[in-house]
Structure formats: structure tokens, C-alpha cells
Amino acid sequence: MREIVLDTETTGLSPKDGHRIVEIGGVELFNHIPTGKTYHQYINPERDMPPEAFNVHGLSEEFLRKHPVFAKIAEEFIEFVGDGILVIHNAKFDMSFINAELSYVKHPPIPEEQALDTLEIARKKHPMGPNSLDALCRRYGVDNSGRTKHGALLDSELLADVYIELIGGRQHDLAIEQGASTTMSGGQRPVATRRQPRPVPLPSRLSEEEQKAHEMFVSGLGDNALWQRYRD
């Protein structure tokens, strides 16, 4: 299965207000494993750069003026995407910009069902949040120390690591592969292999605020609550 972990940077919040894409970054995965193939392109938006957007990604109008307009890179971008699933954090935002840019060059839009929203996955898995990319990096121990500003390719690389953790981590893929190699007679479904415990337990992914909130919640359950048995 081919997936493209994708991110864009823009001049603003909505293409309906005349805002444009200024950077696209993508990381190719095959069966949830990075292939080493990436896509990265700065784009001349043919308009000014609002200060609010510049403060987010640091891409100036002067810098972007040296790069091609979207029409010049549209075919190359579409070729890279192909029929791969687009893995995007807050997919509606990026897809609205991508399809707006494609419409300007008379290219058919990318179907919405081709996009997978990691923000939706994160909200279901961690309903108490927070679920920003930075917060998820902290939760899953993904090193985002180099992310001083937003950058499409760097954010795609970070999201690729976060996405693998959101869907079960590397051990999840290993268990599937091991199970697939153990086939029962008669064409029955493979038997999944039991995961082995980690030799060294992972450090806690809870923030200090989350730990305090949990402690306050448990304290309010009463002395006979089951949770009280597991408190230190």
C-alpha cells in the first residue's frame, strides 16, 4: 500500500480569500515504511506575504519570487502523488488549497476520499487532546527539536513518524508480518503472533498536566474505587 504523508504552507487560512500555497512537502511510505522518496517544492504565490503567515513559516515574498509558480510544477506534483493515499494532519485545510491550485490550472481535483486525516485519528484515540503535531510528537517521543518554524517537508517527516505510532507503531506492522507467515491448512486466515514484551519499558508519554488531571479525577472517585488499588 502506497501512502504520501503530505503538508503544505500557505499565505493564509483559506483559498476563498485569495490565499495560495507557498510550499509542499511529501514523504512516500510503502506498507507504512518510508521508501526514502520525498517531494519538496517552494512555490511563488504571485501575491504578497501577510505578516501572520510569515511568522508561522518564515517564507518571504522576496524569497518565494525566485521559485516557480504552481502551474509549472503541477504535473510533477500530481505524478508524485499518483493514486497514493494522502496522509495529512487536518486534511480539509490542505486539500482545499491543493484542489484550489489544481482548479486554477484546469486540472481535475484530487478526490477527498483519497485523503486520510491524522487529526481525526488522533482525536478518536486521544479525545482529551491536545492533538497538534507538536503535542503528538511529545506524546510519542518523536524528536521535533528542529521545528522552530513550520516547514512542509520537515512537518511531513515528523507526521510520518507520528502516523505510524497512531496506527499502532512499528510493532504492529511486525506482528502482522509474522502472523501472515503463519498460515493454517485449508486456506484459513493467518494466526497473529503474540508480541513479546519490550526489554526496557518505554518512558511515560503523559505530560505533567495530564498526570495531575488524572490524579484529581481518581481522588474524586472515593476510597472504594477500583483505581485506588493501583495508586502509589
Structural domains of the chain, count: 1
Q: Is residue 85 part of a domain?
A: yes
Q: Is residue 204 part of a domain?
A: no
Q: Is residue 67 part of a domain?
A: yes
Report the share of the chain in percent with pLDDT over 70. 77
Q: Is residue 227 part of a domain?
A: no
Summarised one tens digit per residue, pLDDT across range 89-141 is 999 999 999 999 999 999 999 999 999 999 999 999 999 999 999 999 999 99
The one-letter code for the residue type at 72 is K
Catalytic residue ranges: 150
Summarised one tens digit per residue, pLDDT across range 13-69 is 999 999 999 999 999 999 999 999 999 999 999 999 999 999 999 999 999 999 999
Q: Is residue 81 part of a domain?
A: yes
CATH value at residue 49: 3.30.420.10
Contacts 24+ apart (CB under 8 A), 91-100: 91/115, 91/116, 91/117, 91/118, 91/119, 91/120, 92/117, 93/13, 94/6, 94/7, 94/8, 96/14, 96/15, 97/8, 97/10, 97/15, 97/19, 97/20, 97/21, 98/8, 98/21, 100/15
33 lies in which domain range? 2-174
Q: Is residue 187 part of a domain?
A: no
pTM of the model: 0.73
- CA 119 to CA 30: how far, in whole Å? 21
Instruction: Specify whether the CB–CB gap between 77 and 41 falls below 8 A.
Output: yes
Q: Is residue 185 part of a domain?
A: no
pLDDT of residue 195: 46
